[in-house]
Amino acid sequence: MKRFSPETTSGKADASFAEDLLPGAEAIADFVYGDRKQRRKIYHLAETRQLPVFRLGNQVCARRSAILSWIAAQEAGCANSGPKAA
């Protein structure tokens, strides 16, 4: 099993990952809904695999970039399945 080694990545890469990381359901809820109290929705979406999340230990985490990409894909899917012009 390959382990993460800080020597193999630059400090800049580590900083960008840290800035992109949303640690915990409250942080994800704040980013998605603008309300940290919506964390139960995040747990539900994570459990049903409807939201791109991962776990660090038992903490639900997500990347801002992954959530923004996921939202864009959801929007594109809705735009393509809308009513067709006659």
The residues spanned by each domain of the chain are 21-80
Q: Between these two residues, 82 and 66, which has the higher pLDDT value? A: 66
Q: What are phi and psi of 83, to 5 degrees?
A: -65, 140
Band the pLDDT of 13: cuts 50, 70, 90. Answer: low
pLDDT per residue as tens digits for the range 20-57: 999 999 999 999 999 999 999 999 999 999 999 999 99
Alpha helices in the chain (DSSP H): 11-20, 25-33, 39-47, 64-80
pTM of the model: 0.73
The whole-angstrom separation of Cα 78 and Cα 72 is: 10
Find how far residue 54's CA is from the centre of its chain. 8
Would you say residue 5 has pLDDT above 90? no
Q: What pLDDT sits at residue 8?
A: 47
